[in-house]
Structure 1
C-alpha cells in the first residue's frame, strides 16, 4: 500500500482547478489545498475546449436527441392521448400523496447509499465521509439530467478531485468500479428475471438470450474478482491479451499503410490499457473480504430500491391493477440497460420506451406504463436537479463553468 500510494495515479494534481473560478468564502480553505493554481484564459475566463472536443460532444448530443425522440415516438405511437391525460390528471390524492412521500424518502435513501458506497471506494485515496462526497455526487447526477453523453460522471470527478486535491484518474477509477458493480448487478437481475417473464411464443427464444447473458455476467464477475485479488497477474494477462487482439483487429485494416497500422495499434493499446490501470487505486477498498461483501450487498440494495420506486410510480396510476413485483425487477433492469445507450438529457424517450416494453408482458396497459414513466422521469429530474443546483451554489460553482469544464 505504501509503495502504491506514491505512484503517479495518486499524486495530487490541480488540473481541474479551473472548474472553480471564484469559490465562495466557505469553500476557499478547501480549494487552497489544490497543488496547481487555476489556469486562466484572457479575461479571467475558463479556457475554451478544443474544437474537436466541441464537435464530438455536439455529435453525442445530436445522437442522444435523435435516439430519445425516436424512442419517445415509438412509445407514444399506439397510445390513447385522452386516456393518458386522464391518468396523469385524475389520480386519487388519498393514495397518490402518501406514495409520493414514500418515493421521495426512498429517493433520498437511494442517493445517500450511493454516496456511502462511493466513500468506501475512495478510502484508499482519502478518508472521506459520506457527507463529503454527497454534494459532488448530486452535482454529477444533476449534470446527467441537463448534459448529454453521461457527462455528469466526469463532472463529479472534477468537483471532488478539485475540492479534495486528488488526481482525476484516481477519482475516475472509483467511478469506473462503481459503474462496473452496477452493470454486473443489473445484467444479473435481467438474466434471472427474463426466465420468469411471461413471454409470448414468438419471444420465447429470448430466454436463451437470458442464459447467455447470465453466463457472460458470471464470467465477467469472475474476471472482476481475479482483478481485485490478483491485480498484477491480471494486468499482465490483460496486457498480452489486448496486444494480441489489437494485432489481429488492426491487422485486417490492409487498406492502411503498415506504419500507420502500427501507430494505431500502439495508440489504442496505450489508451485501453491505461483505462484498465486507472481502475487499480479503487481496488484496495475491495481486497478486504468483508468490505467486498458489503459493497456487493449495498449495490443489490441500491437497485432493489430503484425497482421499488419504479413499481410505486406505476401503481400510483393504477392502484387497483395487480402488478407483480417481478415486473418491478424486470423493469428496472431494462431501464438501467436502456439508459446506457445514447439518450437525450434526463433520458427522455428512453425511459418511456423501456417502461412500455418491460411492462407489456405483464399485461400493463400502455397508457398506465407511460403515465408511470413520466412520473418516474419527474422524480429523476426535478428533485435531483434541484439538489444538484443547491450544492453547486453552496460550493460557488456556476452552471456555465461546469458545462465548459465537462465539454
Structure 2
C-alpha cells in the first residue's frame, strides 16, 4: 500500500446533469431573439433601407429633442407615482425612486430577460431598507394600473375611429384582466394582517419554517398594496399615471411632427398603446423588432411611404433607448457615488425625504 487515497470520481450522471435554470434562461433569450428577428424582418420587408438615412437627416431634431425632454418629465412622474404607492412610514424619496426607475430601464435596454424590474426593486431595497415583497406589491399595483390605462385608451379609440373587431375585443379582454387584477389586489389589501398567518407557521421543522417564510413574504406584499385601501392615494397615483401617459403621448406627437407624418391625435394615442402593449411580448433587449413592427402596423393607416415610417421607427426607438442608457448610467453612477448602503438603508432615505 502506498498510503495515497484513491481519487474521487465524480458521477457522470451528476456532472453531466443540465442546469435547468440556465436552460430556461437560454430558452427565454432565444425565444426573445427569435421573435425580435421575425418582427424586424416583417417591419422592413420590401422597404428601401438606403432611403431611410435621408429621411432621418431631414427630420426636425429640435422637435425630437423637445419630445425627449417631455418623455423625461413623464418618467419623473412615474417615479413620483412609485413613491406615492409606498406605504408609510416607509420612505422612498422621489429622487431615489427616479434613480432606481432609470437603472431598471437601463437594464431592460441593454440586457435580455427583462430584468429591469428586479434591478429596480433590488436597488431600492438596498438603498432604503425596504422589503422586496413590499416593493413587489407596489409594483403590481403600478403595472396593472398602466395596463388598465393603456387598454382603456385603446377601447376609447373605438369611439373616434374604426378599429378591427379582433383588436377591439382583445383590448376589452386586456382591460377586463387589468381591472380584475386590481380588484383582486384590493381585496387582498383589505384582508386581515398576514403577519398573524406567519406566526401560525412558527415552530420546528422544514414545513413550519417554509410556512412562516411564505407568510412573511405575503405580509410584505400586502403592505405594498396599502394605497388601495383609501381613495386619496389611489387618486394620487392614478392622476400621476394619467399625466405621465399624456406626456408620453405628447412626446410621441412631437416626434411624428418632426418627421412630417400626417397622423391625427387619435393615431398618436394608438401608437402609444400599440408600442407599450407590444412590449409584453418576448423580445430582444430594448424591444428591438417588436417596437418597429408595432409602429409600422399603426402608421401604415396614414403614411403610404414605408421608408418614412421606418425612419420614424428607427429614430424614435434610438432616441428612447439612448435616453434610457444615458439617464440610467447617470443614475447608476450617482448611486455608486453615494457610497455603500447602510445596514438598514433607511437612514440614507430619511435624510433625503424629498
TM-score (norm 1): 0.67
**TM-superposition CA deviations, 1:170-221 (whole Å, max 9, x none):** 112211211111111111112221454345xxxx433xx5156326625742
The one of 287, 290, 299 equivalent to 2:241 is 299
Match in the other structure for 2:81: 117
* Contact map agreement 1:323 1:364 (CA 8 A) in 2: no
Match in the other structure for 2:165: 205
* Contact map agreement 2:48 2:307 (CA 8 A) in 1: yes
The one of 53, 67, 78 equivalent to 1:85 is 53
CA change 1:226–1:170 in 2 (3 A) is closer
CA change 1:389–1:124 in 2 (3 A) is same
- For 2:112 and 2:118, the matched residues in 1 are separated by 12
The one of 165, 179, 190 equivalent to 1:221 is 179
CA change 1:231–1:394 in 2 (3 A) is closer
1:373 aligns with 2:313: yes
Match in the other structure for 1:64: 32
Secondary structure at 1:396's aligned position in 2? helix
* Contact map agreement 1:360 1:366 (CA 8 A) in 2: yes
The one of 132, 138, 141 equivalent to 2:102 is 138
Deviates more, 1:343-352 or 1:116-125: 116-125
Count matched residues.
Answer: 304
Q: Aligned ranges for residues 5-404 of structure 1 at < 5 Å?
A: 51-91=19-59, 96-124=60-88, 126-198=90-162, 204-206=164-166, 209-211=167-169, 213-214=171-172, 217-218=175-176, 220-221=178-179, 224-225=182-183, 227-228=185-186, 231-232=189-190, 279-318=221-260, 321-363=261-303, 365-396=305-336
Largest Rg, 1 or 2: 2
Runs of 4+ in 1 over 4 A off after TM superposition: 232-236, 272-279
* Contact map agreement 1:185 1:300 (CA 8 A) in 2: yes
Secondary structure at 1:361's aligned position in 2? coil
CA change 1:361–1:222 in 2 (3 A) is same
TM-score (norm 2): 0.76
Q: CA RMSD in A?
A: 3.1
What is the CA-CA distance between 1:328 and the residue it aligns to? 0.6
Query: Structure 1: which 5+ residue stretches go unaligned?
Result: 1-49, 237-271, 398-407
